[in-house]
Amino acid sequence: MTSCQQFPKNWTSLPLSAVAEVKFSNVDKISHPGEIPVRLCNYTDVYKNDYIAADMDFMRATATRAEIDRFGIRPGDVIITKDSETPNDIGISTVVDSSAPDLVCGYHLALIRPNQELVDPTFLSKQLRHNRIAGYFGGQANGSTRYGLSTSSIANTPLILPDLEMQRASSALMRLVDDAIAKTEAVIAKLKQIRSGLLHDLLTCGLDKNGQLRDPIAHPDQFKDSPLGRIPREWEVRTCQSLCREIIVGIVVKPAQYYVKAGVPVLRSANVRENGIDPLDLVYISPESNVQLSKSILYTDDLVAVRTGYPGTTCVIPRQFNGANCVDLIISRPGSEIVPRFLALWANSSFGKDQILRVQGGLAQQHFNVREMKALLVVKPTRDEQRMIVQRVDAIDLEARAVVAELEKLLLLKSGLMTDLLSGSVPLPVVGGRKA
C-alpha cells in the first residue's frame, strides 16, 4: 500500500487480494498419456498481448481434470508473468476477453480472478502495467539468474481504485485507443507485405515504357534466362564492381582516440538501416581528424554496407551526411549506369541477400568484405526504368512512414492516458450526469 496519499480522495488504496483471487499455475507444456487435451495460454501469449481471445493460436498440451478446473481461463480473468530472467519482464499483464472450456493458464504465470463487483478487469490489468506497480514488482522480485514473485507479493500489490463506474469509463477509453493501435499495426503489417511483393515483381519483371509491370506468362518472349533467373530481355546482369567507380572498406580500427563531443559525424554499423541512416548514437570526430581519415569520408549518393552483424545491409548516404566519416563499413560509389537507390534496393532485396548469405555460408560467419561486394550480381535496367522502380517503392515507403508516424502518436496518447486515468491525475469529464 502507498506510504502517503498521492491519489484523489475519492479513490481507495487497497491490496490486490481485497478484490481478486491469485493462483499460480503449475500446468506444464508436456502432453501426458491419459490426460485431457487442452490449449495452453503461455508466457509469450501474455507478454505480447494486452487482451486474450479464445480464437488465438495457442499451444496444444494436456492437463488433468483438477488442473483444468483450477486453472481454466474465464472471461474477465487477468493473467500476469510471475517470473523471468530479468525483473523488467515480471508482472506483465493481460485481460481475458473470451475463453473456451479447453483453454488453460500455463506455467510461469499467475492467474488473477477479479471480483467484478469491485474492480473492472481491464482497469485492473492496465493498473498492473502502470510504472508504479512495475516498481513494486521490481522491488519484490527475488532471484539471481531468474527472478520471481511470491504469491504473497502479488496478493499484496498496492492498488488505487476509483469507483466502479469511473473504472469502466476509463477502461472503455483505453480500449478505444488500443483498438486504434491494433488497427494501425495491422495496416503497417499489410503495407510490409505489399511492399515485399511489389519489390519482388519490380526486380524480376520491371516496368515497361507505360509504367506497367511486364507479364512473363502473357508475354514470355519479353524475357530471357540469366544467372539470376528469368529477367526482361532489355536488362543486363552485371557485377557490382562493374557498376561502381570504387568499392573500398572504410577504416576498420575504431578511431576512439579521435572521438569528440561534436564535429564530423562518424557512421557505424548500428547507424545503417535498409530505410536509411539512423542518427541515434552517433559519434563524432574533429574536422582535422576527418582530413587524417580521408579514406573513409562519405559523399552524397555513396552506398554504405554493414560488414558484421547483419552483413550486406545497405543504404544510400543522404545529402545531410555529405562529408561524414565511417568505421568498418564498405563504401560503394555508383557509376553513371546505376541509380544509387536502385542498387541499395537490390542489395537489400532477397536477390541480394541470398547471394550474400550464400558466400557467407549462412549467418555463422557474419563478415561481409569488399571482394564479396564487388562480386555481387545485379540486374541493370535502363536508368529511366531504375528511377521508375525506385519511385514505386518510395511511394509505398512514404505511405508506410505516415502510418508509422500515426502509430507513434497513438502510443504517446496511450502512455499519457495510462498515466492520467490510472492515477486519477486527470479525471474523466462528466457529460449529462455520467462519466464520459
pLDDT value for 85: 86
> What's the pLDDT band for 228 if we cut at 50, 70, 90?
very high
pLDDT tens by residue, 237-279: 999 999 999 999 988 766 677 788 899 999 999 999 999 999 9
Distance CA 216, CA 219 (A): 5
> What's the pLDDT band for 8 if we cut at 50, 70, 90?
confident
pTM for this entry: 0.83
Mean pLDDT for 232-237 is: 97
Instruction: Give the highest mean pLDDT range of 260-269, 340-349, 412-421.
Output: 340-349
Mean residue pLDDT of the chain comes to: 91
- Structural domains of the chain, with CATH: 12-161 (3.90.220.20), 162-226+383-436 (1.10.287.1120), 236-380 (3.90.220.20)
> What's the pLDDT band for 292 if we cut at 50, 70, 90?
confident
**Which residue has 462519466 as its cell numbers?**
435
* H helix or E strand, kind and range, residue 359: helix 350-360
Contacts by residues 54-62 (CB-CB < 8 Å, ≥ 24 positions apart): 54/98, 54/99, 54/100, 54/103, 55/98, 58/103, 59/29, 59/106, 60/31, 61/27, 61/28, 61/29, 61/30, 61/31, 61/37, 61/104, 61/106, 62/30, 62/31, 62/32, 62/35, 62/36, 62/37, 62/38
Q: What share of the chain has pLDDT > 70, as a percent?
A: 93
Closest CA to 274 of 370, 350, 206: 350
Tell me whether residue 185 is exposed, middle or buried, using C-beta atoms within 10 angstroms of its C-beta: 0 to 12, 13 to 18, 19 or more.
Answer: middle
- Does residue 1 carry a pLDDT above 70? no
Set of cell numbers at residue 92: 506483465
pLDDT value for 57: 96
pLDDT tens by residue, 366-413: 678 999 999 999 999 999 999 999 999 999 999 999 999 999 999 999
